[in-house]
Structure 1
Amino acid sequence: MTPGVFNAGEPVPVATVGGTVTLVEGSTFCLSDSCGDVRPGSSHGLFFRDARLLSRWELRLDGQPPFPLTVISADAFAARFVLRRPPKPGQADSTLLLVRERLVADGLRERITLRNLGSEATVASLSLHVDADFADLFAVKEGRAGHGGAEVTVAGAELLLRDRSDGLRGLSVNASGDPVVAPGALTWRVVVPARGRWDTEIVVQPSVGNHRVRPQFDRGDEVEDTGPARKMQAWRRVSTVVTADDPVLTQVLHRTESDLGALQIHDGSHDGRPFVAAGAPWFMTLFGRDSLLTAWMALPLDVDLALGTLAKLAESQGKRVNPLTEEEPGRILHESRLGPDHDQVLGGSHYYGTADATPLFVMLLAECWRWGADEAQVRFLLPAADAALGWVDGYGDRDGDGFVEYRRATDRGLVNQGWKDSFDGINDAAGRVATGPVALCEVQGYVYAAWLARAELAEAFNDPATAARCRDRAADLRARFHEAFWLPEQGWYAVALDGRKQPVDALTSNAAHCLWSGIASDEHAAALVRNLGTRDMDSGFGLRTLSASMGAYNPMSYHNGSVWPHDTAIAVAGLLRYAHLPGAAELAQRLATGLLDAAAAFGSRLPELFCGFSRDEFSPPVPYPTSCSPQAWASAAPLLLVRSFLGLEPHVPRRRLHLRPHLPDRWGRLVLTDLRLGATTLHLEAHGTTAEVRGLPEDWELHKEE
């Protein structure tokens, strides 16, 4: 995902990249350094609805920055910054501990505690410096000037800041402990008794228009009693519990559950169903491709997340032709934004420049139905699926050749509109960037799977004519795809066809998506498996996006040699779909093992991407400097690994459960507790190539391939 359209287990230390700590809850997130400070002139800040509120939030103890010890977080929305007063000159130790306990949830709350561990009372001066610039999220990310700055006033004990440019956004800051409040700062001078403590609670409350936003917490609440914690508890109550003998996998799955809970947004529609945001810090909003793939991967935890995502995307589905936003009838959006500059940046609040979200929408709808989604909800969304396929047939196929291509409508849109959407993300073996219109290999696979998905729904809903038509379309596309995209001399699928319908011949991870969608033939898949398993593609920590033998390879690039966890997980799922072919299951286990080793190195949370250097050269893996974390599809990737190695394929309407376990040896016993499939709740245990299921109704069929 390009950054912007244009150019509960035990608490663990927060793994940070470049010293940045990210807290996120719904559409609110906060970036700070390891002291908890938001430093002016950086990309740090408290962000709400795609605008930065706080651009400065710096705490000083006796006029100096406290010394950081650690940052501890149990959930993505809260953290404790543990610091101390710098030792006095000539002394090695300090006796004054400072803890900043921060919570984000439609605002920010911070509890500051001073603990005097010494035998004498101590005097401490605390000052909190506050400023806001109300800059659009894109402006912050790209390092552009702030939106307009803040008008600052003091009203009694409250500090008020309002957007100077239009007055539409604002915030208030108030605190306990009787601070001295002045424009830009709150100050306390306190005496902390020997072996005693002092604390204050500070609340930041956003306002939009003339209305203050109600934070999801009250003063004095313990973290577990706040809105985000209650939301997380509710998420965990309905989610499947997944554990393994392997402690690394168990910890990674716990972090997955926590991050996916924090990345959910509830907007009050769809009977309370949430949808999933793409990730922090720059993608805390609905993204077509990212949200759909994340929801697919998260199906073993909860089907409602996928239904909410589908419903939200159907609401914004394209209805007219608008070159500025690239909206077209039936097209599923790329992203939505609420920031002050969204008209300037996106052409509107919704931007549609993506080629793959539209078929993925149809795929996910049918998959939800198989996993037990309410039939009435599936039927309600069928018109949106048909409109999506109408886009595939019409606007998506720009030249009538049966393939979906993309070319941006204006010079402001994304040049590349697949998941590798950086300007140089699609190139040939020599490194030359492809010219459009571009037809991506994985998009044709998604379209193939979408036609089959719609055929299955039509068959189930007593519409045989539509089912037959859709199956014919899928078969025709598959035959033409093999003819146009397969490179017999190389043994892989071209990453794309360019504007002259010539194959773009680089070996990429995109080809592995063709295994996941099932468009690949067995003959082609066998050759592809061999090429994906080479050291040029397998970094040792996951699958490279581009082979090291290609002209554009750069392990430090965004899309040309890096490793993306969601991409590797999709490749693993594809390999296990073809597990009957020589080497496919073995390669899947090798890639998954490398990816989980990378997760352990990143504090159990997989980042958006990391550098694709060989494991032999650098271990642990080298972080990508601007990688986002938590990122939804990276967080969900371990769930796809679990599902794929189980061969878990439920079909609730047909009352059938299929299992084909190929678990890696190091996982040991894998347990899924309270796996909800429609009205049925199961307990599943697997080890190696064996699996046992409890709770399956007598009228269900269980198919196990062991």
Structure 2
Amino acid sequence: MSAVRATPADPTPGLLVADGDSGDQRAIPPELGPNSLAVLSGPTFLYSNACGDVPTGSIGGLVHLDTRLISGWSLTVNGGELLLLRAETIDHYSAQYVLTNPELPGLPPNTLGLRRLRYVGDGFHERVELVSFRLEPVRVELRLAVAADFADLFEVKSRVRDRSAEITRDHAADGSELCFSYRRGDFSAETRVCCSKPADRIEGDDLIWELELGPRVEWQVDLHVPLPPGWGWSSRSGATSPTSSMAGPTTRCAGGLRTGRCCTATTWRWSAPCGSPATTLRHCGSTWRSRASGFCCPAPDCPGSSPSSAGTP
């Protein structure tokens, strides 16, 4: 008989668990809204609200092999939540979000256009692009609030045990990476958030970029949450990871892929006509789909790709 894998809910398989460690199913779990989106690839999926955020305490997050590696992932501008213009899945493993800002102190509504393009495969990848439609430079604070609770998938649907005392942090002093580690019994896990452009500062578990954007000047950052060591993607058929072909350039998929230390980037840019911010952003949402495929490579027909099989061990 094969050994039972340790999980956050059962870190010592074979031993009895006290009754107090098992929670009843929550009658009314925090909802992500009717337009929530999920992207998945094999045993990895991310579930968020329509703006791409995962509010802390919700049922959303990044889950791999039944362990939630990310339990909070929220993007704000100048302390305010963003407004949704368009969101949709591109493929089962990728999604896009087109957002703008509400009225904020010193920042009129629809001043900024923000796009989030994400996919899951060999971990979680997200690109954030920001552009200003003001005629003069504008100062912006972009904040990404991150949380990791390492909950078991079944706990997420019932009651999540507080593991804060067992979670250690080793965030990079230069703002290039957040690192959360957890160990209990035979189970251990790690969550790293790598940035292509280091944050100007880290406050707690928040990455903060202080930006000055010129008229229609685009700023972007690529974020990558790699799988914990030894937690690589696998399937019963022995197929490789859906993103295994991203180790080097590919000619089957557009986008000019190139790999960095922690994340993969492409060279596509905004391709919307001039016009009002709201009109431009909506157009971006409709034209982005065809150009975003490069970042979300490989497509299902690319070498090394495989169909989704949620729950595959």
* TM-score range normalised by the length of the shorter chain: 0.5 to 0.7
Q: 1:105 to 1:119 in 2, by over 3 A?
A: same
CA distance in 2, matches of 1:53, 1:91: 34
CA distance in 1, matches of 2:107, 2:124: 36
Q: 1:164 to 1:183 in 2, by over 3 A?
A: farther
Q: 1:126 to 1:262 in 2, by over 3 A?
A: farther
| Larger relative contact order (CA 8 Å, sep ≥ 6) | 2
- 1:297-348 CA-to-partner distances (Å, cap 9, x unmatched) read xxxxxxxxxxxxxxxxxxxxxxxxxxxxxxxxxxxxxxxxx6xxxxxxxxxx
CA distance in 2, matches of 1:91, 1:174: 29
Pair 1:169-2:189 in alignment: yes
**Contact 1:40-1:56 within 8 A present in 2 as well:** yes
CA distance in 2, matches of 1:174, 1:126: 16
Pair 1:114-2:130 in alignment: yes
Alignment-mate amino acid for residue 74 of structure 2: E
Alignment-mate amino acid for residue 197 of structure 2: G
Q: 1:88 to 1:128 in 2, by over 3 A?
A: closer
More strand by share: 2
- 1:78-131 CA-to-partner distances (Å, cap 9, x unmatched) read 111111111247998422111111111131111111111221111110111111
Of 150, 154, 175, the residue aligned with 2:167 is 150
Pair 1:186-2:207 in alignment: yes
CA distance in 2, matches of 1:89, 1:131: 27
Of 300, 305, 311, the residue aligned with 1:232 is 300
**Contact 2:293-2:299 within 8 A present in 1 as well:** no
Unmatched tracts of structure 2, length 5 or more:
1-23, 26-31, 234-240, 247-258, 267-291
Pair 1:62-2:82 in alignment: no
**Contact 2:87-2:97 within 8 A present in 1 as well:** yes
Of 87, 98, 103, the residue aligned with 1:87 is 103
How many residue pairs end up in the alignment? 230
Pair 1:31-2:47 in alignment: yes
Of 200, 206, 209, the residue aligned with 2:227 is 206
Task: Give how far 1:150 is off.
Answer: 2.6
Q: 1:190 to 1:145 in 2, by over 3 A?
A: same
Q: 1:91 to 1:98 in 2, by over 3 A?
A: closer
Q: 1:43 to 1:206 in 2, by over 3 A?
A: same
- 1:208-239 CA-to-partner distances (Å, cap 9, x unmatched) read 46x7889744334446456x73351249x9xx
- 1:549-608 CA-to-partner distances (Å, cap 9, x unmatched) read xxxxxxxxxxxxxxxxxxxxxxxxxxxxxxxxxxxxxxxxxxxxxxxxxxxxxxxxxxxx
Task: Give how far 1:33 is off.
Answer: 0.8
What secondary structure is seen at the aligned counterpart in 2 of 1:139? helix
**Contact 2:33-2:50 within 8 A present in 1 as well:** no
Q: 1:262 to 1:182 in 2, by over 3 A?
A: farther
Task: Give how far 1:135 is off.
Answer: 0.8
Alignment-mate amino acid for residue 161 of structure 1: F
Pair 1:125-2:141 in alignment: yes
Task: Give how far 1:45 is off.
Answer: 0.4
CA distance in 2, matches of 1:212, 1:161: 18
Task: Give how far 1:17 is off.
Answer: 6.4
CA distance in 2, matches of 1:151, 1:212: 22
Query: Residue in 2 aligned with 1:661?
Result: none
**Contact 2:88-2:95 within 8 A present in 1 as well:** yes
What secondary structure is seen at the aligned counterpart in 2 of 1:229? coil
Alignment-mate amino acid for residue 34 of structure 2: G
Query: Residue in 1 aligned with 2:254?
Result: none
Pairwise CA RMSD of aligned residues? 3.2
**Contact 1:151-1:164 within 8 A present in 2 as well:** no
CA distance in 2, matches of 1:231, 1:67: 29
Alignment-mate amino acid for residue 70 of structure 1: R
**Contact 2:37-2:88 within 8 A present in 1 as well:** no
What secondary structure is seen at the aligned counterpart in 2 of 1:123? strand
CA distance in 2, matches of 1:83, 1:94: 9
Q: 1:50 to 1:195 in 2, by over 3 A?
A: same
CA distance in 1, matches of 2:121, 2:203: 26
Task: Give how far 1:181 is off.
Answer: 3.2
Q: 1:19 to 1:115 in 2, by over 3 A?
A: same
**Contact 2:142-2:208 within 8 A present in 1 as well:** yes
CA distance in 2, matches of 1:150, 1:91: 38
Of 101, 108, 130, the residue aligned with 2:117 is 101
Q: 1:285 to 1:178 in 2, by over 3 A?
A: closer
Query: Residue in 2 aligned with 1:459?
Result: none
Alignment-mate amino acid for residue 218 of structure 2: R
**Contact 1:173-1:204 within 8 A present in 2 as well:** yes
Overall identity of the aligned pairs, in %: 28
Pair 1:285-2:297 in alignment: no
Task: Give how far 1:201 is off.
Answer: 1.0
Alignment-mate amino acid for residue 311 of structure 2: T
What secondary structure is seen at the aligned counterpart in 2 of 1:128? strand
CA distance in 2, matches of 1:77, 1:212: 17
Alignment-mate amino acid for residue 68 of structure 2: R
**Contact 2:128-2:221 within 8 A present in 1 as well:** yes
Q: 1:53 to 1:97 in 2, by over 3 A?
A: same
CA distance in 2, matches of 1:56, 1:285: 22
CA distance in 1, matches of 2:58, 2:159: 8
Alignment-mate amino acid for residue 198 of structure 1: W
Unmatched tracts of structure 1, length 5 or more:
1-5, 8-15, 238-260, 264-276, 278-283, 287-337, 339-706
What secondary structure is seen at the aligned counterpart in 2 of 1:138? helix
**Contact 1:169-1:206 within 8 A present in 2 as well:** no
Pairwise mapping of residues 309-320 of structure 1 onto structure 2 (< 5 A)? none
- 1:138-191 CA-to-partner distances (Å, cap 9, x unmatched) read 111224435666311113432111114356210211212331234411110001
Q: TM-score, normalised by structure 1?
A: 0.30
CA distance in 1, matches of 2:157, 2:136: 47
